[in-house]
Structure 1
Amino acid sequence: MTRIALVVSDVDGTLLTKDKVLTERAAKAARELREAGIAFTITSSRPAIGMGFLIAPLQIDLPVGPFNGSSIVSPEMRPLEQSLIPADAAERSVDLLHQRGIDIWLFTADAWLTRNPDGDYVPNEQRAIRADPTIIGDFAPYLSSACKIVGASRDFDLLARCEAEMRELLGSEATAVRSQSYYLDITPPGRNKGTFVTAMARRLGIALDQVATIGDMHNDVAMFEVSGLSIAMGNASDDVKSKARRVTTSNQDEGFANAMEMILAENAQG
């Protein structure tokens, strides 16, 4: 096996438990990667404001990839590269979600905007990203500065159907993919977790086959496709697992730590 020089991890459903907790064993495993000379960073559908609390416990010194990797942000949360959804595509995304009765969130580089403070998943997002939404009456003034638009719904089948509709509606103008069974993310075109992984490998001057990626959702498949070693979480769907080279245990059973310990052991064997 090619020695791993960089690990890129998803956050929710992978690095964190279902209660959004970073376990001590997971944090220790990430730190041990650094001690072994293996670079480590994270990419997530989260906004940058929801990733900063992980930097210190994981000792991350590389850029991170919020908004499904469509932006690149320094460990100090300073934007290095930022892509936006074209305003017309953002408007059509919002219109379709509204027509389907799906709760809508819009994220700019530094704000979370919603028209509905009582949406089903607002408390979940507040707990996850450790920030509160800004309540607005109209998305129109913000469509030209949208880093991500989210449709949130308890009707998982509706959201899956809307994902297909959104992809047909937007074509190559934006990316539409579910980051959770209850979240449909619309992000800038041509950028995803795979392009983030490629950018990090280029930054470090290493080949992509020296990169390991780990995740649990459909938006993680883009990074599975470009990395030498791809690992799906035990809590991933069978479809996502089929896209990875290996499967670890679930995020409730230290799947991230188990996978990192496997990488460390195999690297040590040469």
Structure 2
Amino acid sequence: MKVDDIARHDAKLAPTESVRLVVTDMDGTLLTPEKQVTRRSVDTIEKLNAAGVAVCLVSSRAVVGVERYHEALHLTTPYAAMNGALVRDAQGKVLSSLVLPPDAVRATLDMLDVHEVDAWLFCGTDWIVKDATSGYVPYEHKTLGIAPTVAKDFGPWEGQVGKITGSSADYDLLERMEGEISQMLEGRASVARSAQYYLDVTPKDANKGYALRELGRLLGVAPHEIACLGDMPNDVPMLDIAGLSIAMGNASGEVASHAHFVTDTNENEGWAKAIETWVMPRVSPKAG
């Protein structure tokens, strides 16, 4: 960690001694690089549930990309998609929905276009692109398991956008644009990278800190009794407010500085190890 990162980490409040809820990121955290949940992680979720501790998924993914894992893991908790822009219960009922102001949508799309960064829109359960064959679209198609809607003009969706994603293989460019778009849309949107190749722009209150608070509210658990796990800049808002925050070993030093602890990587059972090492010892036999 850099000096500033060390200072930030050292300034954090001590971790909670009581955990009643786990809120977890998916890609780079719960999921392996192959987008799988390991047997050990599945067993660990079952142990949490048996102890009365619920597990909630929160992701930058579109709804369908979260839903498929939520169902596969037999979770009955609410979950948050698009960095919190959309929160649904286990039956698919929308509990919270936020959209970007149309002027913020236009300004973001203009900037992405100037820098030749592919732009995608996510509106509710719809994913809209201009070219289904370009850049990371085929990869995301495989990841989500759905095909995008192709449109030459994004205009008809401007008032319905829950998330804009800029995708590019130029990681340095996206890092610079994260700062530039954040400054341009200050007070109007949340801007953060969810992967080295994805830059997400969501409604002002749609970040993972909001998602963590909302999921906790729905389940009657205060933030100081929530443990969270993440690996990317878009996870920082929840790492900052959770009573127990854990960064993955594949997280950058800056992201890790916002967490109480750093576990192993998502290639080496980091999620399960984190739960076993820091969460389970903080679970009361009377949890839930």
TM-score normalised by L of structure 2 = 0.90
Counterpart for residue 65 of structure 1:
80
Q: Does 1:207 align with 2:222?
A: yes
Amino acid at match of 1:91: R
Structure 1 outlier segments of 4+, above 6 Å: none
- Which residue, 91, 108, 123 being the options, matches 1:108? 123
Q: How many Å apart are 1:73 and its aligned residue? A: 0.9
Question: Aligned equivalents of 2:267 and 2:182: distance in 1?
Answer: 32
Most deviating of 76-85 and 258-267: 258-267
Q: How many Å apart are 1:268 and its aligned residue? A: 6.2
CA contact (8 A) 1:208 1:226 kept: yes
CA contact (8 A) 1:31 1:59 kept: no
Q: How many Å apart are 1:76 and its aligned residue? A: 2.3
Counterpart for residue 120 of structure 1:
135
- Pairing 1:121-200 to 2, within 5 Å after superposition: 121-200=136-215
CA contact (8 A) 1:31 1:58 kept: no
Counterpart for residue 104 of structure 2:
89
**Helix, strand or coil for the counterpart of 2:186?**
helix
How many residues were matched structurally? 270
CA contact (8 A) 1:8 1:40 kept: yes
Q: Does 1:77 align with 2:77?
A: no
- Which residue, 247, 253, 260 being the options, matches 1:232? 247
CA contact (8 A) 2:86 2:124 kept: no
Q: How many Å apart are 1:59 and its aligned residue? A: 2.5
CA contact (8 A) 2:119 2:166 kept: yes
Counterpart for residue 24 of structure 1:
39
Amino acid at match of 2:101: P
**Helix, strand or coil for the counterpart of 2:121?**
strand
* Offset from partner CA, 1:170-210 (integer Å, 9 cap, x none): 11111111011110000011221111111222223233211
Counterpart for residue 5 of structure 2:
none
Question: Aligned equivalents of 1:118 and 1:201: distance in 2?
Answer: 39
**Helix, strand or coil for the counterpart of 2:194?**
strand
- Pairing 1:27-66 to 2, within 5 Å after superposition: 27-66=42-81
Question: Aligned equivalents of 1:269 and 1:72: distance in 2?
Answer: 29
Question: Aligned equivalents of 2:207 and 2:73: distance in 1?
Answer: 23
**Helix, strand or coil for the counterpart of 1:231?**
strand
**Helix, strand or coil for the counterpart of 1:187?**
strand
Question: Aligned equivalents of 1:266 and 1:173: distance in 2?
Answer: 38
Q: How many Å apart are 1:56 and its aligned residue? A: 2.9
Q: How many Å apart are 1:88 and its aligned residue? A: 0.9
CA contact (8 A) 2:20 2:283 kept: no
Amino acid at match of 1:95: D
Amino acid at match of 1:72: V
Q: How many Å apart are 1:77 and its aligned residue? A: 2.4
Gaps of 5+ in 2: 1-15
Counterpart for residue 280 of structure 2:
264
Question: Aligned equivalents of 1:59 and 1:2: distance in 2?
Answer: 28
**Helix, strand or coil for the counterpart of 2:40?**
helix
Amino acid at match of 1:186: V
Most deviating of 4-13 and 28-37: 28-37
CA contact (8 A) 1:27 1:57 kept: no
* Offset from partner CA, 1:129-174 (integer Å, 9 cap, x none): 1111111111111111111000000000111111111112111111
Task: Quote the RMSD (CA, aligned, Å).
Answer: 1.5
CA contact (8 A) 2:51 2:285 kept: no
Counterpart for residue 10 of structure 2:
none
Higher RCO structure, 1 or 2 (CA under 8 Å, sep 6+)? 2
